[in-house]
Each structure stands twice: as structure tokens, then as C-alpha cells.
Amino acid sequence: MSYLDQINTPEDLRKLPLTALPQLCEEIRHFIIQQTAQHPGHLGSSLGVIELTVALHYVFNTPDDKLVWDVGHQAYCHKILTGRKEVFHTNRCYNGISGFPRREESPYDAFGTGHSSTSVSAALGMAMAAKMEGNLQRNHIAVIGDGAMTGGMAFEAMNQAAYRDVNMMVVLNDNRISIDQSTGAMSKYLLSITASPQYNRFKNRLWNIFTFKSKRSNRITRFFSGLGNGLKGYLLGGSNWFQSLGYRYFGPADGHDVIHLVKTLRDLKALPGLKLFHILTVKGKGLDMAEQNQTIYHAPGKFDPETGKILSAAPNDPVPPKYQDVFGHTILELARADQRVVGVTPAMATGCSLTIMDEEFPDRVFDVGIAEQHAVTFSAGLAVEGLIPFCNIYSSFFQRGYDQVIHDVALQKLPVIFCLDRAGLVGEDGATHQGSFDLAFLRAIPDLIISSPLDEHDLRNLMLTAYHNAQKGGLPFVIRYPRGRGVHVDWHNEPCDLPIGKGRILRKGNKLALLSIGPLGNNVALALDQLREKGIEPTHVDMRFLKPLDETLLLSLSDSCKTWITVEDGTEKGGLFSAVAEFLENHQLDNILHHIALPDRFISHGDIPHLYHEVGFSVDSIVKAVEDFWPKEV
């Protein structure tokens, strides 16, 4: 029987001898590779922290001790060790376990995550609560990657923590990469403090001699840690940033030596107060192809578990391109024609395909790190100086930049172009990543244009329109579009300017009007094809703009179609449905209004067909809704 077979909970793990842990890690690695090959997920990050996860659960008394994973995409080993091994094959599937820690899923998931850079704040809050209750025994551990450490929230929490006498350890999992190459000063700094092998050997030796062998830890540890950092400051011409903030800094340590990790963590556990433990790991550890192509194997989709080779899902027939690639090629065309066009991304260059422009114009593409707030205001600054920034942010991460959009962009009427990728339901990443709220939260902001393309041709048209609008110093302009493929195999239309705030009638019918925004309109079109055979022929309008709303078009429909249905892949509160309801109220019109939109609850993870069926976005559901609402003869 393998070691893994004997383990369902960390209690079982703690019964194993220390010497069994290296083999257990290999068994877990094999298990994750086998499972993730068939049920795609975040592979590279999870493979990198197996030894750390085993060591943490071996040493600390979880779930009483609190273990918070930053982002949570690396928590597969944690899930396997904490009672979810048997259901791990349902990872990210509809009705299966979540790909991220969730409090409702397990008492071992101390904090729900998905968005980056929250772990230190959450662990600090828990540590502070424990301290206020007089509990100085409980341990609080935040595991955060070097990428997540670039997020503003992490800096804010690190800063506050430094003034608090709390029992918290930050484990900095430094694998030298975010999804794309890490950028910025922090990444350079981490490299510099790990780059001096003589220093590290020297400090480790002192540490071993005077700390591990002696239990008179505190003062001695502090002395030698300080001595070590002083020496490093001397050798490197700077000081240890973490140390300056008030953390006791330990490391860097080999994050794949599980025995050494256990021994070190035991010693660190005995030291109360604020600590930072810096470990070095390899993203994708143990699968050659994943180690060599870390960006692609961050989340590779299905692959061959033996060779690591990614299994291409592409059929032989040509398929429509991804919206992401259409964005990438279109911004490149605009950038070639106008050198004021620049691209901004908070750490998602590959995901949003800004890499396409980056290859030709690396000096005009800015990956600002996992820093959405900064990305928005940085873009505002670029726009003040007459550049034309396309700031591409995933819809759910854009939530981070709300105040910046209001205060730094809209209030100053700066013509920043926001391309919101992954708008609407994203599927397997689940509730933390669904792009459900942008239409609702953006509509409240004055002086903002909000649009969504029906398809990839329209995305190109909207990008050109937004560009011309920015050239003329117009209002800030949002274009939101989904993850994945469009509908036209031949995407490369000659883009044309669109009238801002104008919708278009796609199909003229009678009695009932479907008012859709965005690509969900394609499902409406398919539903109407089916309904035509049943003699049901409503009007279909592609609103294209949520703001300004095309009131002239709506007024023109109010007599011929007495029933309206709004269709949007956003929440039912605050988006198109609300906008049209307000319009009817303001014009004192008595049209009956229904809606197809996301219900007022968080939508969990799963494949898009299942989710679409659940929320009424599938073609069948739209057919049924139209039949139900079709005015009955009296």
C-alpha cells in the first residue's frame, strides 16, 4: 500500500515517519499529474508546492492552526491531504469540488481565495483576533507567491503587520515566475537576495549551529538573523526589505527538500511573532515539459500524463478564433498605424494575448504586475500625456480598480480604453472568476461608454471606434467580451467605425422584442431560428452599448412590440435589465419587461454548457423563455 493510500487527513499524515515524506511527495506528484491530465486545472503551481504543503500539514496543527493560500490555485496537494483525495477527479467540474479553497468545502480551507494577494491580510486578521482573545498559541500562516507579492494588497498587509505583535508566518513561495515572467522591482529584489550562495551558506551554518541545536532560540536567532542580514546588506549594498519592515526573515531555503522544510518549520513554529520564510521552488516541478514551459503549463488543459504533451482539442475543421487573439491582432494593427497606442496588462499578457503586440512593440506594452488598481491609474497617467492606452483587465479582477475608474479616469474624462476580458461566465474557475458584475457596477459611473460586441468582427469595430473616440479626446470607453471563441472562422474583417450609443436591429419581427447585449445575442439568434418554424417571430435587437443606451431605438419599438426581454451575461441587478426598466419608467411606457440574466447569487464552477443551462442562457432555455413570454391571443 502506498503512503498516499493511508492518508485521508493531516492526522494520518502526522503518523508517518519523517523519512516517509519524500516518497509521499512523489506519490502525490504522480496523483496530481494523472488527475490534472484528464481534468484540467492549475498544474504548474500545484506541482511546485507539494513538499511545502506536506511539511506545513505535518508540522502545524491544521485546521486549528490557520493556513491561508494566496490565490489558492496551488492548493491541490492541500485538498488531497485534507479529505478530498477521493473526489479530486471532480476538481473544477460542475457540482464537483472547487479549484480554489472554499470555506464551505472544508474546515481546512481557512479562507476562500481565487483573486491574488489577499492571504497576508486575511491571516493577519485571524492572528489579530486570536491575540485579542488571548490565544498566543495558534499559528497563522499565509503562503504567497512572488507574483502575488507584487499586488498592492499584499504590500498593504505586510506594512500593517509590521506594527503588530502577532503570531503570523508569511511563507514566500518564490518560483521566479507569475503566469508570465514576473516583472518589476520586487522580482529583481528577490533575485538579488537569493543570488549570493556564499552568504546563504554562511547564514545557514550560523543558523544551524546556534538555533536548531540550541533551544534558547529567540535572542540568539534574532542576533544571528540580524547579523546575517547586516552581512548581506554589506555584501549586496542594501538591506533586507522584509527585515526592515519588522519581519524576522529566514531563508532562502530549498522548497523541494521536504525533510529540511519540516525541520525548519518546527523551529520557526517555536518562534512566536512575525516571521517571513522565503523558499525557492520550481513551478511545474517533476514534469519536464511543465518545468520548461512554465507559462503554458500554468493551466495547460488536457495533456498526456506520461510525456506531458498537451492534447490539442482542435478539430480538423477550421474554428473561429478566440476573442483574445482578435484583441491581440487588432491592437497590433492599431499600434502599427499610431505610435501613441500602448497596451497595459496587470500580469495577464499571455491570457489576454497582449503578447502579440509585445513581440513587435515591447516598449509599448506594460505588464505592471498583479496590480489592477495601479494598471487603471497608470493608464490614466498615460492618457493625460496624449497616449492612447488599451488597458486590458479580466472582468472579475477589474473589480479591484473600481475607485480608480471613477476617481482617476471617468471624473477626469480621460480617454482610456478598457478591454474587459473574461466577461460573463468563465466556467471552471468558478465564483471568484465569473465576470458577472461589470455591467452593473460600471453603469452607475457617469461619463463612461460601456459596450459589448456581438462577435469578433464587432470587437474589431468597437476597438477601432474606441480608438477614434480617444483620438478625439472622447470619454473613457469600456469594451467587455468573453473568454473563448467567437463565431466567424474568418475573423479578419476590415474594421469600421460604429455610432456610439447606437444599437441595431438584427431581425425584425412583431409582438415581442429581445434586447440583447454581447455575444449571448448569438444564442438568441439560434433560438429565433428554431422559433421561426413554430411561427414565433420576435424582433431581435443587438443593443451593443449599455451606456449611452439607445433610447431612440427603444422608443421606436414600444408600439410594435409590447413585450420585451433583455438578454445579458451579467447580473440581473443593475445592468441592461435595470437600464431598460428605468427607461420604461422614465418614459412612462407600459411595455411588459422580462429578463434573461444572471440570477442574484454567486454562480459556482463548471463547464459552460451546464452553467448556461442552469442560468437560462442555453439556446433551449431561450426558446422556452420566448415561448413562455410570447403574448397569448385573447
Ligand X SMILES: Cc1ncc(C[n+]2csc(CCOP(=O)(O)OP(=O)(O)O)c2C)c(N)n1
Q: Does 178 bind ligand X (CB under 6 A)?
A: yes
Please pick, from the candidates 96, 99, 147, 575, the single residue that binds ligand X as defined by CB under 6 A.
147
Query: Is the sign of the CA dihedral 129, 135, 136, 137 positive or negative?
Result: negative
Cα 332 from Cα 347, distance rounded (Å): 19
> Chain centroid to CA 460: how far?
25
Q: Does 335 bind ligand X (CB under 6 A)?
A: no
Cα 427 from Cα 254, distance rounded (Å): 36
Inter-axis angle of helices 619-629 and 520-532, nearest 10? 60
- Residue that has been written with the C-alpha cell 523519512 in this structure: 19
Cα 250 from Cα 200, distance rounded (Å): 10
* Minimum distance from residue 634 beta carbon to ligand X (Å): 53
Please pick, from the candidates 335, 370, 554, 625, the single residue that binds ligand X as defined by CB under 6 A.
370
Q: Does 179 bind ligand X (CB under 6 A)?
A: yes
Q: Does 483 bind ligand X (CB under 6 A)?
A: no
Q: Which of 51, 372, 428, 456 is catalytic?
A: 372
400 is catalytic: yes
- Kindly indicate which of the ranges 99-107, 143-151, 502-510, 522-530 contains the residues binding ligand X, using the contact rule CB under 6 A: 143-151
Residue with smaller CB distance to ligand X, 31 or 398: 398
283 is catalytic: yes
Q: Which of 29, 85, 400, 460 is catalytic?
A: 400
Residue with smaller CB distance to ligand X, 76 or 617: 76
Q: Does 121 bind ligand X (CB under 6 A)?
A: no
* Minimum distance from residue 167 beta carbon to ligand X (Å): 24
Query: What's 404's DSSP letter?
Result: I
Under a CB-based contact definition with an 8 Å cutoff, are residues 546 and 443 in contact?
yes
With CB atoms as reference, the residue minimizing the distance to ligand X is 145
Q: Does 146 bind ligand X (CB under 6 A)?
A: yes
Cβ neighbours around 473 below 10 Å, total: 11
Cα 131 from Cα 245, distance rounded (Å): 20
- Kindly indicate which of the ranges 119-127, 140-148, 202-210, 618-626 contains the residues binding ligand X, using the contact rule CB under 6 A: 140-148
* Minimum distance from residue 178 beta carbon to ligand X (Å): 4
**If 0-12 CB within 10 Å is exposed, 13-18 middle and 19+ buried, where does residue 300 land?**
buried
- Name which of 614, 581, 621, 619 is nearest 598 in CA terms: 614
Cα 610 from Cα 428, distance rounded (Å): 11
Residue with smaller CB distance to ligand X, 83 or 301: 301
Amino acid residing at 429: D
Q: Does 232 bind ligand X (CB under 6 A)?
A: no
Instruction: Please report, as residue ranges, which positions from 100 to 119 form the binding site for ligand X (by CB under 6 A).
Output: 115-116
**If 0-12 CB within 10 Å is exposed, 13-18 middle and 19+ buried, where does residue 122 land?**
buried
Cα 163 from Cα 77, distance rounded (Å): 33
* Minimum distance from residue 182 beta carbon to ligand X (Å): 7
Please pick, from the candidates 35, 36, 45, 392, the single residue that binds ligand X as defined by CB under 6 A.
45
Q: Does 71 bind ligand X (CB under 6 A)?
A: yes
Residue with smaller CB distance to ligand X, 47 or 515: 47
Polymer length of the chain: 634
Residue with smaller CB distance to ligand X, 151 or 501: 151
Positions that interact with ligand X (CB under 6 A):
45, 48, 71, 73-74, 115-116, 145-148, 175, 177-179, 283, 347, 370, 372, 397, 400
Catalytic sites, residue numbers: 283, 372, 400
